[in-house]
């Protein structure tokens, strides 16, 4: 079977149900040791003293890095275990089930930026999520995986396998966008795209680092979208 190296393969025999609190209790909360490439882009884009909400943060190091930069940071996640983990770093949070966002009763503040990093593709209702969050900010920093990335195209064409963007259960990944699709989607959601920057992708082993941003729909893997709300 044709596969590129370092590409996840589906293992349907090991599918497990998902309980995020149980997952974090079993795994134990520990921040990623380093910032991911997409985190570094976001960290550079956000000015000092900004007020930020990171939604669906998991165990990303980004909220702590933003706090260290001098920003006022809060987090929101479905797991209370995650919020306990961030409280050790002086970061407050709120439990938020994005798929039941219409039932959310707690209060949120107004934020300079709301971050949704590798989150929306895991939800069945991204339109409702963004519409709900529009009332709390004028700026979004969103990252998604590009489903039109060349490796995924080749695997389907030559290997006959749909790409795998899940770990425990196929329902972890529910929405699929190409870069072109997502730009259209942002416009439909009343968001103005200020900047799109590819955080990783095909660069011909580093010899052509510009390639992934020159043709993001083919060579960009994970992409950061800086958007403002059309008022």
Model confidence, pTM: 0.89
Per-residue pLDDT of the chain (231 residues; tens, 9 = 90+): 555 556 666 666 665 666 666 666 666 678 889 999 999 999 999 999 999 999 999 899 999 999 999 999 999 998 888 999 999 999 999 999 998 998 887 778 999 999 999 999 999 999 999 999 999 999 999 999 999 999 889 888 887 877 776 666 666 788 999 999 999 999 999 999 999 999 999 998 899 999 999 999 999 999 999 999 988
Which runs of consecutive H residues, i.e. helices, occur in 62-101?
62-69, 80-87
Q: Return d(Cα 166, Cα 85) in angstroms, integer.
A: 24
How far is C-alpha 75 from the geometric centre of its chain's CA atoms?
14
Q: Return d(Cα 137, Cα 16) in angstroms, integer.
A: 36
Please tell me the CATH superfamily of domain 15-145+178-200+220-229, with its number. Vaccinia Virus protein VP39 (3.40.50.150)
The string of DSSP codes covering 162-219 is -----SS-GGG------HHHHHHHHHHTTEEEEEEEEEEE--TTTT-TTHHHHSHHHH
């Amino acid at each position: 079977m044709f596969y590129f190296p370092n590409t996840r393969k589906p293992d349907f025999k090991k599918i497990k149900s998902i309980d995020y609190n149980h997952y974090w209790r079993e795994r134990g909360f520990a921040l990623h040791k380093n910032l991911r490439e997409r985190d570094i882009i976001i960290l550079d884009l956000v000015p000092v003293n900004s007020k930020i909400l990171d939604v669906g943060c998991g165990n990303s190091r980004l909220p702590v890095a933003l706090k260290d930069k001098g920003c006022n940071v809060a987090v929101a996640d479905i797991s209370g275990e995650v919020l306990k983990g961030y409280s050790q770093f002086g970061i407050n949070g709120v439990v938020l089930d994005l798929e039941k966002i219409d039932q959310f009763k707690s209060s949120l503040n107004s934020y300079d930026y709301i971050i949704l990093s590798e989150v929306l593709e895991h939800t069945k209702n991204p339109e409702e999520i963004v519409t709900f969050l529009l009332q709390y900010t004028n700026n979004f920093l969103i990252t998604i995986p590009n489903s039109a990335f060349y490796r995924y195209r080749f695997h389907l064409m030559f290997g006959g396998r749909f790409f795998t963007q899940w770990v425990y259960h196929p329902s972890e990944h529910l929405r699929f966008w190409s870069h072109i699709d997502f730009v259209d989607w942002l416009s439909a959601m009343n968001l103005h795209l200020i900047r799109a920057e590819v955080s990783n992708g095909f660069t011909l082993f580093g010899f052509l680092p510009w390639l992934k941003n020159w043709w993001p729909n083919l060579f960009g893997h994970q992409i950061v979208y800086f958007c403002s709300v059309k008022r």
